[in-house]
Amino acid sequence: MNPEPSAAGWTALTFLGYILLVYGIAAFAHHVSKGKSFLKEYFLGSRSLGPWTLALTFAATSASGGSFAGFPSLIYTYGWVLALWIAGYMVFPICTMGFLGKRINQVAKKCDAVTLPDIFRDRYNSPWLGLLTAFLIIFYLVVYLIAQFKAGGVLIQTLMKDLAFFQGISGRLEGVASLFEGVSSGYLAGLLLFTTSVVLYTAYGGFRAVVLTDVMQGIIMGLGVIILLPLTLHTAYVYLDPPDLEPAPLVEVESRREARSEEPFRLTQFSQGLRKVGEHLKQEDPSAMSAPGHKKTDDMDGEDFKPFLPLGLAISFFFLWPISGSGQAGNMLRLMAFQNTKTLARAIFAVTIYYGFIYIPLVIIFVCAKTLPLSVEQSDQAMPAMAMLVAPPLLAGLLIAAPFAAIMSTVDSFLLMISSALVRDIYQRAINPDVSERAIRIASLATTLAVGFLVLLLTINPPQFLQDIIVFGSAGQAATFLGAMVLTLYWPRSNAAGTASAMITGFVVVAGLYTIGRLQTGEFVSWAPYDIHPFIWGLIGSFIGGVLGSLATPPPSERTVARFFYASDHVEPSS
Amino acid sequence: MADPKLDPTFRNARREALVILVIYTVSLLYTILFCHFFAYNREPETIRLYLGIPDWVVWGVMLPWAFNVGVTFWFCFFYMADDNLDIPPDELEIESELRGEGTGES
């Protein structure tokens, strides 16, 4: 029996239900926004995020498609070493939310800031610094969006290629696809469906819709993993024989499995399943049990053997996840939108629990997958293949929707940030400060739509080295904004010139290392002196640039320092 | 000029940021050092399994992860000051005036 049509049907059903729910949420968000200040509501949800919404929007936006496609693929390939690779997430919430959260929220409220450039602009009374920030945000987010749009398009194409209505759309696009070399009509159809579904609800519902859909997407991701874990352990219990059992003929093996699958359910079957997995891997794939990890092939004997996670790289990743996460513009924006300190405290703890329940179980699930009879052509398919193997069809559809939810929750947030940079930071604050709220409303909707479809055009024929471009986008963003934001929030002596110097130095160092790497190898990889990730060089450069730039130029006025660093009874209005 | 009093929210946020740096550094050192000695290039027969999970994962990753959940709980609910982040109504006018001053600084 061929299970494909049934699986595709269930997947499509789940996907359609999911899209309908997203649009329902957008309509609700649009309804709630009536009667409120458009700018604050559309781009910042009127700063009304409670603990659960803050926690889940933060977690969902941080988890891009990689968490549910690339990460499982790596575990399936390399085994337990991925527990060390992801270990930085144990401190991710407290670092990314706790380090800047309280202070960025306070300063944003003082400045009445709606966007990140607003903070820099108003903290220093410097319109050109606001513009510089806006242009840098647009650059990084467009780069990032191209990669995410491609991932979304490919995912829809993979999930729906067997469905008649998708094949119909694909057939109509063959003429358009023929205009681009190496682009299939199926990919174009997937891209078009993805873009339409995300851009419309983002444009219509604004920040509140993005946050509420993030909450739903975060719940789907969390539930998906929590349900998949016991199903996987039970499947391992059924499929695997205890290692100390004598090998049996195939027929007997099958009868043993049949007998086990019909046993009454007991909780101990989970632990027995995991024990069997451990013993099997120890005997059959011992490299998956320790670091640095390598593929289960014969390549470890030759010169081509490359360890997956040498110690230096493990240190880099422990640094990269929590510290670079603090410097992502999308994360900073969410920290501007929560209500009060209690909200922040509860959200930090909730995200800590959430990540504990997502990442450790994911490692266990896909280590188990190494011992189960998965049919995968590429390790990237490990997630859907596991869902199909261990879960009933409707649940499998939900599990397969998890990576899609992760991509959507990242894309919608970034679309809105680009739109806010163009409408609020460039148009309203630099070109036409007297623009009416009605004009802003129309411009915001139109810009979100336009940016979405512009990125679609850029993604039709995406550039090579896409994964490396994503890494460049994340590392560059953190190197550019983290040092500048830390100095802005915590150093009274910092000024506009120093902050601009921090941003530009971080940007130039990361871009420079990538340019040297490109010249050396011909590929989009960075030069990494002393095997240290370019983000770390960029961050060091950014802090040095920020401090020197501030010290070399006149200090900020006493009144500016008093406004942001002194108790309120020391701040005086201008005379 | 008298030494002005620092904003309590700023002072608390700075102190909390330093504590976070300490938590991060301790977590990094423990995890990396433990895994350096007990996770790398182990002979399979020396790896002890706890419920099928290698010993170095349990002690080097899961234990500090669980410990960090506890530390985060302490930080969020016992250490983090409950600062008021809202602008008091009587200051709103001053803030509004300050935002509109428009004197660029370099």
A470 and A458 co-located in one domain: no
User: What would the pLDDT profile of A456-506 be if each residue is shown by its tens digit?
Assistant: 998 887 766 666 777 788 889 999 999 999 999 999 999 999 999 999 999
- The answer to whether residues A351 and A97 touch, using CB atoms and an 8 Å cutoff, is yes
User: What would the pLDDT profile of B91-104 be if each residue is shown by its tens digit?
Assistant: 666 666 666 544 44
Instruction: Please tell me the predicted confidence (pLDDT) of residue A571.
Output: 59
Across the interface, which of A125, A291, A490 has its CB nearest the CB of B39? A291
The DSSP code for B53 is E
Domain boundary among A413, A436, A462: A462
Residues of B with Cβ-Cβ distance to A559 under 8 angstroms: 98
The boundaries of the domain holding residue A116 are 4-462
- Whether omega before A93 lies within 30 degrees of 0, making that bond cis, reads no
- The answer to whether residues A473 and A330 touch, using CB atoms and an 8 Å cutoff, is no
Q: How many CB pairs under 8 A join A and B?
A: 228
- The answer to whether residues A141 and A455 touch, using CB atoms and an 8 Å cutoff, is no
Residues of B with Cβ-Cβ distance to A81 under 8 angstroms: 39
Query: A57-66, A112-121, A427-436 — which one is most confidently predicted on average?
Result: A112-121
Instruction: Please tell me the predicted confidence (pLDDT) of residue A406.
Output: 76
Whether B98 sits inside 8 A of A573 (CB atoms) is yes
Residues of A with Cβ-Cβ distance to B14 under 8 angstroms: 103, 490
Provide the 10 A C-beta neighbour count for residue A367: 29
A202 and A292 co-located in one domain: yes
β B53-54/B49-50 pair status:
antiparallel
User: What would the pLDDT profile of A124-149 be if each residue is shown by its tens digit?
Assistant: 999 999 999 999 999 999 988 888 88
| Shortest Cα distance, chain B CAs vs residue A390, angstroms | 20
Dihedral, CA atoms, B70, B72, B75, B77, nearest 10 degrees? -80
B54: enclosing H helix or E strand:
strand B53-54
**CATH code at A430?**
1.20.1730
| Shortest Cα distance, chain A CAs vs residue B103, angstroms | 6
Beta bridge partners of A291: B40
Residues of B with Cβ-Cβ distance to A489 under 8 angstroms: 13
Beta bridge partners of B50: B53
A206 and A112 co-located in one domain: yes
- The answer to whether residues A25 and A209 touch, using CB atoms and an 8 Å cutoff, is yes
Chain centre to alpha carbon of residue A344: 20
Buried b (16+ CB within 10 A) or exposed e, A81-110: bbbbbbbbbbbbbbbbbbbbbbbbbbbbeb
Instruction: Please give the average per-residue pLDDT across A328-346, as a whole number.
Output: 92
Interface test with A, best of B47, B65, B73, B93 (most A CBs within 10 A): B65
Three-state SS annotation for A314-377: HHHHHHHHHHHHHCCHHHHHHHCCECCHHHHHHHHHHHHHHHHHHHHHHHHHHHHHCCCCCCCC
Lowest mean pLDDT among A208-222, A498-512, B58-72: A208-222
A437 and A481 co-located in one domain: no
Confidence grade of residue B106 (pLDDT, cut at 50, 70, 90): very low
Give the separation between CA A285 and CA A288, rounded to whole angstroms: 6
A432 and A477 co-located in one domain: no
Of A377 and A76, more confident: A76
Indicate whether A556 pLDDT > 90: yes
Domain boundary among A462, A485, A510: A462
Whether B84 sits inside 8 A of A318 (CB atoms) is no
Whether A80 sits inside 8 A of B57 (CB atoms) is yes
Residues of B with Cβ-Cβ distance to A289 under 8 angstroms: 42, 44, 47, 54
Q: How far apart are the first and last CA of chain B?
A: 24
Q: Name, in order, each residue with C-beta under 8 angstroms of A337's C-beta and a sequence gap of 6 or more.
A: A44, A45, A47, A48, A49, A54, A207, A211
Q: On the CB side of A61, how many CA atoms lie within 13 Å of its CA?
A: 29
Across the interface, which of A286, A562, A568 has its CB nearest the CB of B91? A568
Positive or negative CA dihedral for A444, A445, A450, A452?
positive
| Shortest Cα distance, chain B CAs vs residue A344, angstroms | 8
Give the separation between CA A444 and CA A427, rounded to whole angstroms: 11
Nearest CA in chain B to A360: B62
Whether B40 sits inside 8 A of A497 (CB atoms) is no
Confidence grade of residue A349 (pLDDT, cut at 50, 70, 90): very high
| Shortest Cα distance, chain A CAs vs residue B24, angstroms | 6
Domain boundary among A444, A462, A480: A462
Dihedral, CA atoms, A61, A62, A68, A71, nearest 10 degrees? 170
Across the interface, which of B44, B86, B101 has its CB nearest the CB of A125? B101
Q: How many residues does chain B have?
A: 106
Indicate whether A299 pLDDT > 70: no
Indicate whether B88 pLDDT > 90: no
A453 and A480 co-located in one domain: no
Residues of A with Cβ-Cβ distance to B6 under 8 angstroms: 565-567
| Shortest Cα distance, chain B CAs vs residue A428, angstroms | 15
Indicate whether A286 pLDDT > 50: yes
Q: How many residues does chain A have?
A: 575
ipTM for the predicted complex: 0.89
Instruction: Please tell me the predicted confidence (pLDDT) of residue B39.
Output: 94
A442 and A478 co-located in one domain: no
A110 and A246 co-located in one domain: yes
Amino acid identity of A109? K
User: What would the pLDDT profile of A231-265 be if each residue is shown by its tens digit?
Assistant: 999 999 988 877 666 666 666 777 777 777 777 77
Q: Give me the residue spans of the domains in chain B.
A: 8-99
Instruction: Please tell me the predicted confidence (pLDDT) of residue A243.
Output: 64
Give, in order, the Cα–Cα distances in Å from A400 to each of A24, A47, A231, A356, B40. 21, 33, 15, 21, 34
Instruction: Please tell me the predicted confidence (pLDDT) of residue B1.
Output: 47
- The answer to whether residues A562 and B4 touch, using CB atoms and an 8 Å cutoff, is yes
Across the interface, which of A124, A344, A349 has its CB nearest the CB of B105? A124
Indicate whether A22 pLDDT > 70: yes
Instruction: Please tell me the predicted confidence (pLDDT) of residue A164.
Output: 84
| Shortest Cα distance, chain B CAs vs residue A565, angstroms | 5
Indicate whether A297 pLDDT > 60: no
The DSSP code for A566 is B
Nearest CA in chain A to B83: A341
Give, in order, the Cα–Cα distances in Å from A473 to each of A203, A315, A477, A495, A521. 24, 20, 6, 26, 20
Instruction: Please give the average per-residue pLDDT across A357-371, as a whole number.
Output: 94
Indicate whether A507 pLDDT > 90: yes
User: What would the pLDDT profile of A380-420 be if each residue is shown by its tens digit?
Assistant: 678 878 888 888 777 777 777 777 777 887 888 889 889 98
When divided into structural domains, chain A yields a total of 2
- By percentage, how much of chain A surpasses pLDDT 70? 91
A107 and A153 co-located in one domain: yes
| Shortest Cα distance, chain A CAs vs residue B76, angstroms | 5
In whole numbers, what is the pLDDT of chain A averaged over residues? 85
Q: Is A298 exposed, middle or buried (0-12, 13-18, 19+ CB in 10 A)?
A: exposed
Instruction: Please give the average per-residue pLDDT across B38-60, as a whole number.
Output: 93
Nearest CA in chain B to A567: B7
Whether A276 sits inside 8 A of B52 (CB atoms) is yes
Nearest CA in chain B to A500: B106
Whether B32 sits inside 8 A of A311 (CB atoms) is yes
